[in-house]
Structure 1
Amino acid sequence: MSAPHGKAASPFRQPKAVWAVAFACVISFMGIGLVDPILPALAESLHATPSQVSLLFSSYLIVTAVAMLFVGWVSSRIGAKRTLVTGLAVIVVFAALAGTTDSINGIVGFRAGWGLGNALFIATSLAVIVASASGGFSGAIILYETALGLGIAVGPLLGGELGGISWRGPFFGVAALMAVALIATLAFVPNLPKPERPTSPMAPLKALRHRGLLTMGIMALLYNWGFFTMLGYAPYPMKLGAHELGLVFTGWGLLVAAFSVFFAPRLQARYGTAPVLYANLLGLGIVMAVIAAGVANPTTVIVAVIVSGAFIGINNTLTTQAVMLVSPVERPVASSAYGFLRFIGGGLAPYVAGKLADATDLSVPFYLGAATFLIAIPVLASGHRMLHRAEAGTGDGEPVTPTLTPVGSPATTDAPPVVVAVGAHDTAAGIVDAAARLARDTGSPLEVVHVQQTAVVEEQAVETETDAAARTAVTAHLDRLTGLGIATTGQILTSVGDHAAAGRALARHAAEVHARTVAVGRSPRGPLTQFADGSFTTALTHAAACTVVLVAPDEDPRPLTAQALTELRNSAA
Structure 2
Amino acid sequence: MTTPHGEASAPRGEASAPRGEAVSPFKQPKAVWAVAFACVISFMGIGLVDPILPALAESLHATPSQVSLLFSSYLIVTAVAMLFVGWFSSRFGAKRTLVIGLAVIVVFAALAGSTDSINGIVGFRAGWGLGNALFIATSLAVIVASASGGFAGAIILYETALGLGIAVGPLLGGELGAISWRGPFFGVAVLMAVALVATLVFVPSLPKPARPTSPVAPLRALRHRGLLTMGIMALLYNWGFFTMLGYAPYPMKLSAHQLGLVFTGWGLLVAAFSVFVAPRLQARYGTAPVLYANLLGLGIVMAVIAAGVASPTTVIVAVVVSGAFIGINNTLTTQAVMLVSPVERPVASSAYGFLRFIGGGLAPYVAGKLADATDLSVPFYVGAATFVLAIPVLASGHGLLRKAEQHTPGPEPVEPSLTAVGAPVPADVPPVIVAVGAHDRAEAIVDAAARIARDSGSPLEVVHVQQTAVVEEQAVDVESSDGAKAAVTAHLDRLAAAGVAASGRILTSVGDHAAAGRALARHAADVHARVVAVGRSPRGPVAQFTDGSFTTALAHTAECTVVLVDAEHTPRPLTEDSLAELRGSGI
Contact persistence 1:94–1:113 (CA under 8 A): yes
State the partner residue of 2:123. Answer: 109
State the partner residue of 1:170. Answer: 184
**Displacement of 1:303 after TM fit?**
0.3
Structure 2 residue 270 is matched with structure 1 residue 256: yes
Question: Which residue of 30, 34, 42 corresponds with 1:20?
Answer: 34
Letter paired with 1:393: H
Letter paired with 2:232: I
Q: How does 1:502-517 map to 2 (within 5 A)?
A: 502-517=516-531
State the partner residue of 1:141. Answer: 155
Letter paired with 1:168: R
SS for the counterpart of 2:498 is: coil
The percentage of counterpart residues that share the same residue type is 85
Contact persistence 1:392–1:401 (CA under 8 A): no
Q: What's the CA shift string for 1:50-73, capped at 9, x where partnerless?
A: 111100000000000000000000
- In 1, Cα distance between equivalents of 2:416 and 2:97: 31
State the partner residue of 2:503. Answer: 489
Q: What's the CA shift string for 1:383-409, capped at 9, x where partnerless?
A: 111111111221235456882211012
- In 2, Cα distance between equivalents of 1:216 and 1:483: 47
C-alpha spacing 1:277/1:508, structure 2 compared with 1 (3 Å)? closer
Structure 1: gaps of 5 or more residues: none
State the partner residue of 1:60. Answer: 74
Q: How does 1:62-461 map to 2 (within 5 A)?
A: 62-399=76-413, 403-411=417-425, 415-461=429-475
- In 2, Cα distance between equivalents of 1:162 and 1:403: 48
SS for the counterpart of 1:485 is: coil
- In 2, Cα distance between equivalents of 1:293 and 1:523: 52
**Displacement of 1:157 after TM fit?**
0.4
C-alpha spacing 1:487/1:239, structure 2 compared with 1 (3 Å)? same
**Displacement of 1:79 after TM fit?**
0.3
Letter paired with 1:281: L
The alignment yields a C-alpha RMSD, in angstroms, of 1.7
**Displacement of 1:414 after TM fit?**
5.3
- In 2, Cα distance between equivalents of 1:512 and 1:48: 62
SS for the counterpart of 1:187 is: helix
**Displacement of 1:533 after TM fit?**
4.7
Question: Which residue of 9, 12, 18 corresponds with 1:5?
Answer: 9
- In 1, Cα distance between equivalents of 2:427 and 2:316: 66
Q: What's the CA shift string for 1:160-188, capped at 9, x where partnerless?
A: 01111111110011000000000000001
C-alpha spacing 1:212/1:514, structure 2 compared with 1 (3 Å)? closer
**Displacement of 1:437 after TM fit?**
3.4
TM-score by length of 1: 0.97
- In 2, Cα distance between equivalents of 1:19 and 1:193: 20
SS for the counterpart of 1:453 is: strand
Contact persistence 1:22–1:144 (CA under 8 A): yes
Letter paired with 1:360: T
SS for the counterpart of 1:456 is: strand
SS for the counterpart of 2:584 is: helix
Contact persistence 2:426–2:459 (CA under 8 A): no
Alignment size in residue pairs: 573
**Displacement of 1:561 after TM fit?**
0.8
Letter paired with 1:190: P
- In 2, Cα distance between equivalents of 1:55 and 1:412: 63
**Displacement of 1:276 after TM fit?**
0.5
C-alpha spacing 1:44/1:413, structure 2 compared with 1 (3 Å)? closer
C-alpha spacing 1:19/1:172, structure 2 compared with 1 (3 Å)? same
Structure 2: gaps of 5 or more residues: 11-16
**Displacement of 1:442 after TM fit?**
4.0
Letter paired with 1:174: V
Letter paired with 1:5: S
SS for the counterpart of 2:423 is: coil
**Displacement of 1:379 after TM fit?**
0.7
TM-score by length of 2: 0.95
SS for the counterpart of 1:572 is: coil
Q: What's the CA shift string for 1:113-162, capped at 9, x where partnerless?
A: 00000000000000000000013211111110110000000000000011
